[in-house]
Structure 1
Amino acid sequence: MEWLKKLAALLVLIGALNWGLVGLFDFNAVTEIFGSAATVTKVIYSLIGLSGLWMLLSKYKS
């Protein structure tokens, strides 16, 4: 289960960095890499969101 925690942390970090790039430079790295309407992009955003939720819930569960 430790690998899941590390993966979730990595995805949340990627999401945070991406939002920082969007806010500071109007540059979205995820859509630049995978395309703006690609299903892959939606999956990545969903995984990042679920990772954040999982980290939040596991923080209060422990």
Structure 2
Amino acid sequence: MSMLSRIALALLIIGGINWGLIGFFQFDLVAALFGGQSSFLSRLVYGLVGLSALACLGLLFKSDEEVDTVTERPTRFSNASLNTEFSEEPLFRDDSSVDKGKDYKSKGKK
């Protein structure tokens, strides 16, 4: 997603929260912050939210492959070996040590 799409999405979230406050509590947060509904700053915020909705309208019709551009996640570790650093013993018991009565941890010790 491009930076413009992210900004538009953030403005839409702000607008959605504002409309939720208007619907549930009859409180217009944008108007309260910027000096009423008819002030220049409030009208600017309302206009930017409307333009953001028009910009994000195209995202509704894009396929998932076009929207998510990350194809490969970076690995956190350069050595992806799952062995422990303390031991090089095999993870499972050798069946031959069971027949001889030996414990797999004591194998090789004298």
TM-score, length basis structure 1: 0.88
Q: CA deviation at 1:57?
A: 2.5
For the pair shown, the structure with the greater C-alpha radius of gyration is: 2
- AA matched with 1:51: S
Q: Which runs of 4+ in 1 moved over 2 A?
A: 57-62
Gaps of at least 5 residues in structure 2 are 64-110
**What is aligned with 1:52?**
53
- AA matched with 1:43: L
Instruction: Indicate the structure with greater helix content.
Output: 1
Gaps of at least 5 residues in structure 1 are none
- Say how many residue pairs are matched: 62
* Equivalent residues in 2 for 1:7-26, closer than 5 Å: 7-26=7-26
Deviations 1:2-49 (A, max 9, x none): 111110000000000000000000000000000112111111100000
Q: CA deviation at 1:59?
A: 3.2
Counting aligned pairs with the same residue, the percent is 40
TM-score, length basis structure 2: 0.52
RMSD over aligned Cα atoms: 1.5
Greater length-normalized contact order (CA 8 Å, ≥ 6 residues apart):
1
